[in-house]
Structure 1
C-alpha cells in the first residue's frame, strides 16, 4: 500500500501533470484498490468541507494585498527610504534588499510577490552601483523567501488548515525566526563583502546621509502600519486572522487611493492576479483533502507513521532524515505542491517523534524557503531572472543563492538546538500551546 502510493505520486509528477490532478488520481486509485467501500461518492462533500473553512477566506485577501502593494508604488518608496540607512555598511544596497524584503513580507504574505516587487525596484541599481551580480541577485531571491516566514504568511494559513493548528500560534512562532533569518542573510553579505570588498559596490562619498534618512522615514510608516493592522489586530484580540486579513485589505486599498494609484486598470489587474492564484491554491487544497481522507480511511497514514517509528531511530536522527528528504525533494518539486502533498504524511510522524506541530511548521516553512532558491525548480530564481534588467546568465542566480541556502540550514540547526526561539512567543500569547 505504501509502495503503491509512493510510486503513483512520483510517477504522475514525473509526467508533469498538474499537481491537483496528481493528488486526485492518487486518491482515486488508492480508494478503488484498498478501500472497503467506494470513497469517490464523498468527493463532493469533501470539496465543500475543505473549501468551507473560515480561515481560508483570508487567502484571497492576503493575495490581493500583495497584488495592490506591488502596483501602488509603496515598494519603490520603501526601498528608497531604507537605502540611506545601509549606505555606510559594507554591501550597501544588498542589505537594503534584505531589509526591504523583510518589511514587504510583513504586509504581502507571499514570497513570489516579495521577490518580484523588490527585484523590480532593486535590479536597476545593480550594475550602476558596481555590485557583484550573483550576490546581489541572490540577496533578492533569498530576501523574497521571507514572505512566507514573517507573518502574515499564506503558506502558514495552508499549513494550519491541513494540520488543524492555530494560525495565531504559527504567526507568533515565525516572528523571531523570520527576523533572525533576515539578520543571518545580512551577516552572510557582510562576511562575503569583507572578504571580497569589491563585491560591495562603489563607495559612498563623505556627504551626510541624515537628511535623506529623516526624509525617508514617512515612507516606512505605511508598510509598518499595515503590519500592525493585520498582526496587531490578531494579538490584541480585536480580530481573527480572517478578519485581520479583511482589515489589512481595506487599509491597503486606502493606502493605494492615498497614493493616487487606485484606478480601474490597477484594480482589474489585481483582481485577475488574485483570482488566478486563489483558484490554483484551492484546487490543490481540495485534491489534497480528498487524498488525505482516503489515506486516513485505508490506514495508510497510520501505516507510514508506524513503519517510520518502528525503525527505532532516535528522534533527532529521524528529524534530520526528514530535513534531508525535503531538501532533496525541493530541488524537483514546486513548493506549494510539496507542502500540500506531504504535510498529511509527515506531520503525524514528526508529532509522533515528540515535536510540536507549531515548531515544525516554522522549520517546514524554512525548508520550503530553501526550495524556492534551490535549482533547478527554485521559483524565486526564475522570478528574479524575469525582472532582471538587461538580462544575463541564469547561472548568476545559482551562484548567488548558495550562501543564503547555507544561512537557512544554519537557522534550522539553531531551531533544532533552541526550539524555544519559535515556541516562546506562542507560549506567552497562548499558554495552551506548550512545548
Structure 2
C-alpha cells in the first residue's frame, strides 16, 4: 500500500510542476519499479514499448484523428453546423440546440472531445454573438456537447479502453451509441426547458423556409453517409475498426475533393494536427503500459482484491466508491491520463465483482466526460474560453453545472437499466 500512496504523491507532484503527462507516468513507473519491484523494469521497457506500439488496433487512432482534422480544416464542419442550425433554430434555445446536435454529429466522425469543442466553438460563437445569446450558457452548451466525442462512436477513448482491458471495440462502439444519443437528447431537453420557462436566451429568432431547409441537406447528407459507411462496415463485419477508420479517411478526402474544399494547405494542417495528437496519445499509452507492468509486478491488483474481499462489500457499494473516486480525480487529472492510470487497476477488480466489461466501459466514459467540464482542469472549458476570448471562464463553468448533473443522471440510468448500453451489442 506504501507503493500506491507513493505513486499517487509522485504523480501529482510531477503534474503540479507541469511535467508532461507521459514523462510523469513513466517517471512514476521507473521510481516505483526501482524500489518496489523484483522484476527487471529497465530491461523490460524496450519489449513493452515495442509490443504496445505495434498493436494493430492502435493504428485506428491516427486514422480517426486525421478524419476529423480533414473535416475541420476543409470547412466541412462549418457547413454541417449551419445545416443543422437551419433545421433546429425554431426550437426554444435556438442555436444552442445546433451546438449540441453539431457536436453529436461531429463526434460521430472525429472521435475527439477537444477537437469537437474547438471546431464547434470556432463556428458557433460568432453566430451566438450576432443573435445576442447569453454567452455563459451558450459557451457551456458547446463545452458540454463536445464531451460527447468520447462516448459516441468512433471514440478514441473507447478504443483505448478496449485496448487496455482487451474488450471488443465493435461492441464498445455499439454500446456507446444509445447512451450517447440519449445524453445529447437530455442536453437538448434541458436547453428547451430552460429557454421556455426562464425566458428566451436570445434577442433575435431565426426563421427559415422549407426551401432553405431542404437546400442545406446537400451540406449534411454526404457526411452523414460517411458516418454510416464507417460504422456500418464495422457492425456488419466487413471491416475492423482500423480498416473502417482508413476507409473514413478516403471517404473524407473524396467528399472534400468534390466539394472543392480539399487544398494543399488543408492537407498540410490536417497531417500536422494528426501527428501532434497521435504523438501525444501514443506517448501516454506507452508510459501507462510501463506503469501497468510495474503495478502488476509489485502485486498491487491482487492486494486490492484481497482487501476488498476482507471488507466484504457489495458490488454496487464498490461501484459507488469508484464513481466518487473518478469524479474527484477528474477535477485534477486530464481525461486521457486519468483513463490510462486508473483503468488497468480498476477494471480487473470491477470485472471480477461481476460487472460486464462493455457496460463498465460506457459507465466509466460518462464519468470521465464530467472531467472535461469540471474545474479546475476541465479541458473543454479552457478550449471554449480560449477561442471565445471574451468574458471569464467562470461563466462557462457555471453554465456547465446543469450539464454535469445531467451526466450524473445518465450514469444513474445506466445502473438502473444496463440494457441501454448492452442492447445493441447483441447484434454484433
The bucket for the TM-score relative to the shorter chain is: over 0.9
Alignment of 1:172-211 (within 5 A): 172-204=174-206, 209-211=209-211
Alignment of 1:208-247 (within 5 A): 209-247=209-247
Q: CA deviation at 1:20?
A: 1.3
Q: What corresponds to 2:367 in structure 1?
A: 367
Aligned residues: 426
The answer (yes or no) to whether the contact 1:2–1:304 under 8 Å persists in 2 is no
- Among residues 52, 77, 99, which one is paired with 1:75 in the alignment? 77
Q: What corresponds to 1:28 in structure 2?
A: 30
Structure 1 gaps of 5+ residues are 430-435
Q: CA deviation at 1:146?
A: 0.9
In 1, Cα distance between equivalents of 2:67 and 2:187: 26
Report the TM-score, using the length of structure 1 for normalisation. Answer: 0.95
Q: What corresponds to 2:417 in structure 1?
A: 418
- Among residues 143, 146, 167, which one is paired with 2:145 in the alignment? 143
1:353-399 CA deviation, whole Å, 9 max, x = no partner?
211111111111111211111111111111111222x6222222111
Q: CA deviation at 1:324?
A: 1.1
User: Does the alignment pair 1:399 with 2:401?
Assistant: no
The answer (yes or no) to whether the contact 2:39–2:297 under 8 Å persists in 1 is no
The answer (yes or no) to whether the contact 2:165–2:347 under 8 Å persists in 1 is yes
1:68-105 CA deviation, whole Å, 9 max, x = no partner?
11011211211121112222211011111111111111
Q: What corresponds to 1:433 in structure 2?
A: none
Q: For the structure 1 residues 12 and 305, does the alpha-carbon distance in structure 2 shift closer, same or farther, using more than 3 Å as the test?
A: farther
Q: What corresponds to 1:45 in structure 2?
A: 47
In 1, Cα distance between equivalents of 2:357 and 2:7: 24
Alignment of 1:108-187 (within 5 A): 108-187=110-189
The answer (yes or no) to whether the contact 1:132–1:201 under 8 Å persists in 2 is no
In 2, Cα distance between equivalents of 1:210 and 1:292: 56
Structure 2 gaps of 5+ residues are none
Report the TM-score, using the length of structure 2 for normalisation. Answer: 0.96
In 2, Cα distance between equivalents of 1:307 and 1:4: 18
In 1, Cα distance between equivalents of 2:210 and 2:309: 59
Q: CA deviation at 1:275?
A: 0.6
SS of 1:197's equivalent in the other structure is coil
Q: CA deviation at 1:138?
A: 0.8
Q: CA deviation at 1:116?
A: 1.0
RMSD: 1.5
In 2, Cα distance between equivalents of 1:37 and 1:125: 58
Q: CA deviation at 1:308?
A: 3.3
1:91-137 CA deviation, whole Å, 9 max, x = no partner?
01111111111111111111111111111111111122122211111
Q: CA deviation at 1:201?
A: 4.4
The answer (yes or no) to whether the contact 1:358–1:423 under 8 Å persists in 2 is yes
Q: CA deviation at 1:200?
A: 4.6
The answer (yes or no) to whether the contact 2:92–2:200 under 8 Å persists in 1 is no
